[in-house]
C-alpha cells in the first residue's frame, strides 16, 4: 500500500510539473511545446496504468483557460490509442465517454468523435442493446465532415442504416440510406487531385474500413433487407442486379449463379410494368443465363403471349423454389409462393385481353382455371391498379376489354377514314381516265 501511495505521489508530482510546463507553453502560444507537454502527461498516466487519473487529466487539460485546439486534438488522438489497451470493459467505456464529452461540439475533433461513438455503439450492440447503439450512431451526421474519407463516411452511414433495420425502424433506415447516392460507388478512374492551399486535407480511412466495391455490396444487401419488409420485388431485383454487376461477383460462378437466380425469381414476382419488362428482356439477353436453363424457360414463359397453366408451372419449379433458401441471400419472401400464383393469373388476364375484345365471365374463368368470383376479383384488382382497361357487365356476365374512345378520337378516325376513301376514289378515277385515253388512242389508230 505504501509503495502504491509513493508511486501515486510521484506520478502526481510529475504531472504537476508537466502541467506547469504546459501552462507556460500555452501562455506563450507555443503549439508544439503545449502538444508535447499534454501527450507526455497522458503517456505518464498510461504507463502507470492510472486510468482514473488519465480521465481526470483529459477533462482538466481540455478545460484549461485558452486551451489550444491543436493540444486538444493531439490529446484526443493520443488517448484513443489507449482504448484497446484498457484492462476491462468498464474502464474502456469510461475512457470512451470521457473523450466523447471532451470532443463534443468541437469541429476540429469531429472525426475522432465519430470514431469514438462508433466504438461505443459496437460495445452496446455486443451487449444486445440495439436501440441504444442505434440512438448513439444517429447523433453523428458524418455527411457534413469535409475531412473524413469517402469510404469511412459511407461505412458509418451504412452502420446507422443496419442498426435501424435491426431495431425494425424502417422509416429512419430509409431516410439515412438516402444520404448515399448509388453513383458514389462508381469506381474512381480520375486521379486524385492534390489539395490546394486553404482546402481541407481529407484524412486517410482507417485500415478496417472496407473498399468502395465491398461497401457497394453491403449497401445493396441492406437495401434488399429494407425492400423485403414491404415486399417490393422490383426494387429487390434491381439491388441484386447491382450486386451482380460487381466485378468480383461476376468473375466467380459460385457467387453470380445464386444472385442471377434471385434476379430471375424477383423479376417473375414483380408486377408487370415498363421497368419490369425492360429488366426482363435485358436479363434474357444475358449469356450467363444459359448456365441455369430452367430459369431461362421461366422468363420465356412470361414474355410469351400464351396462357400459363399454374399447376404445370408450380410442379416444374417447386423444387427450385424450395431450394432457393439454401442459396446465397437466403430464402424468398414469405408471401412469394402466393404472389407467384397472383403474377401468373395477372399474366393470363393480360394475354386474354390481347386476344379478345369481349368474352363472357364464365369463359374467362375457364381460361384462367379459376372460379367466376376469383376471376372477377383478380380482373377488378388489375383494373383498379391501371394495369388493364376493362368493363364488366355483371347482369349479362360479359367482360369488355375495349377502351372507351374519346369523342375527339372518334371524329378524328372518321375524318381519317373519309380522307382515305376520297383518296381511293381519286386514284380510281385517275386509273379509269387513263384506261379510257389508252382505249381511244387504240381505236383512232
**Is residue 1 scored above 80 in pLDDT?**
no
**For the residues 163-183, what does the mean pLDDT come to?**
87
Q: Are 176 and 167 in contact (CB under 8 A)?
A: no
**For the residues 98-116, what does the mean pLDDT come to?**
81
First to last CA, the chain: 146
**Is residue 213 scored above 50 in pLDDT?**
yes
pLDDT attached to residue 425: 93
Closest residue by Cα to residue 123 from 169, 158, 77, 88: 88
pLDDT attached to residue 185: 79
User: For 327-376, how does the pLDDT look when each residue is reduced to its tens digit (9 = 90+)?
Assistant: 776 677 667 888 888 888 888 888 888 887 788 878 878 787 778 888 88
Residue 29, by phi and psi: left (phi above 0), alpha (psi -120 to 50) or beta?
left
Range scoring the smallest mean pLDDT among 45-49, 160-164, 188-192: 188-192
**For the residues 119-124, what does the mean pLDDT come to?**
84
Q: Which helix (H) or strand (E) holds 399?
A: strand 398-400
pLDDT attached to residue 330: 67
Confidence bin at 405 (pLDDT 50/70/90)? low
Grid cell, residue 338, equals 402466393
Eight-class DSSP state of 211: P
pLDDT attached to residue 82: 78
Confidence bin at 198 (pLDDT 50/70/90)? very low
Distance CA(425)–CA(436), nearest Å, equals 16
Grid cell, residue 205, equals 480511412
| Exposed / middle / buried, residue 195 (Cβ in 10 Å: 0-12, 13-18, 19+) | exposed
Confidence bin at 108 (pLDDT 50/70/90)? confident
Report the predicted TM-score, pTM, of the whole model to 2 decimal places.
0.77
Mean pLDDT of all residues in the chain?
80
Amino acid at each position: 500500500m505504501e509503495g502504491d501511495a509513493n508511486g501515486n505521489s510521484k506520478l502526481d508530482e510529475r504531472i504537476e510539473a508537466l502541467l506547469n510546463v504546459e501552462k507556460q507553453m500555452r501562455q506563450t502560444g507555443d503549439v508544439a511545446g503545449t502538444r508535447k507537454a499534454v501527450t507526455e502527461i497522458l503517456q505518464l498516466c498510461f504507463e502507470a496504468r492510472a486510468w482514473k487519473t488519465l480521465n481526470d487529466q483529459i477533462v482538466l487539460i481540455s478545460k484549461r483557460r485558452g486551451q489550444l485546439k491543436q493540444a486538444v486534438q493531439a490529446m484526443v488522438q493520443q488517448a484513443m490509442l489507449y482504448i484497446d489497451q484498457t484492462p476491462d470493459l468498464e474502464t474502456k467505456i469510461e475512457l470512451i465517454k470521457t473523450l466523447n464529452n471532451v470532443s463534443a461540439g468541437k469541429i476540429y475533433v469531429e472525426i475522432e468523435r465519430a470514431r469514438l461513438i462508433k466504438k461505443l455503439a459496437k460495445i452496446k450492440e455486443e451487449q444486445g442493446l440495439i436501440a441504444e447503439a442505434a440512438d448513439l450512431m444517429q447523433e453523428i451526421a458524418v455527411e457534413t465532415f469535409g475531412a473524413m474519407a469517402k469510404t469511412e463516411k459511407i461505412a458509418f452511414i451504412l452502420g446507422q442504416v443496419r442498426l435501424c433495420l435491426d431495431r425494425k425502424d424502417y422509416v429512419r433506415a430509409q431516410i439515412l440510406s438516402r444520404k448515399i447516392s448509388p453513383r458514389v460507388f462508381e469506381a474512381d478512374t480520375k486521379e486524385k487531385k492534390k489539395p490546394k492551399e486553404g482546402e481541407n486535407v481529407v484524412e486517410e480511412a482507417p485500415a478496417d474500413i472496407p473498399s468502395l466495391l465491398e461497401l457497394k455490396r453491403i449497401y445493396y444487401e441492406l437495401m434488399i433487407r429494407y425492400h423485403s419488409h414491404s415486399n417490393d420485388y422490383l426494387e429487390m431485383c434491381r439491388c441484386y442486379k447491382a450486386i451482380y454487376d460487381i466485378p468480383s461477383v461476376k468473375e466467380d460462378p459460385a457467387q453470380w449463379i445464386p444472385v442471377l437466380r434471385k434476379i430471375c425469381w424477383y423479376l417473375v414476382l414483380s408486377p408487370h410494368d415498363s421497368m419490369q419488362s425492360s429488366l426482363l428482356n435485358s436479363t434474357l439477353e444475358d449469356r450467363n443465363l444459359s448456365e441455369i436453363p430452367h430459369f431461362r424457360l421461366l422468363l420465356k414463359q412470361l414474355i410469351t403471349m400464351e396462357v400459363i397453366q399454374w399447376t404445370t408451372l408450380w410442379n416444374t419449379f417447386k423444387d427450385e423454389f424450395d431450394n432457393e433458401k439454401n442459396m446465397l441471400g437466403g430464402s424468398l419472401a414469405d408471401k412469394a409462393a402466393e404472389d407467384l400464383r397472383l403474377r401468373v393469373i395477372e399474366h393470363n388476364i393480360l394475354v386474354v385481353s390481347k386476344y379478345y375484345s369481349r368474352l363472357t365471365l364464365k369463359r374467362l374463368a375457364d381460361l384462367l382455371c379459376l372460379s367466376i368470383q376469383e376471376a372477377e376479383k383478380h380482373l377488378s384488382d388489375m383494373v383498379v391498379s391501371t394495369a388493364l382497361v376493362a368493363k364488366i357487365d355483371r347482369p349479362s356476365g360479359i367482360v369488355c376489354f375495349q377502351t372507351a374512345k374519346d369523342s375527339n378520337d372518334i371524329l378524328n378516325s372518321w375524318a381519317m377514314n373519309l380522307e382515305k376513301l376520297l383518296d381511293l376514289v381519286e386514284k380510281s378515277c385517275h386509273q379509269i381516265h387513263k384506261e379510257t385515253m389508252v382505249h381511244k388512242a387504240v381505236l383512232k389508230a
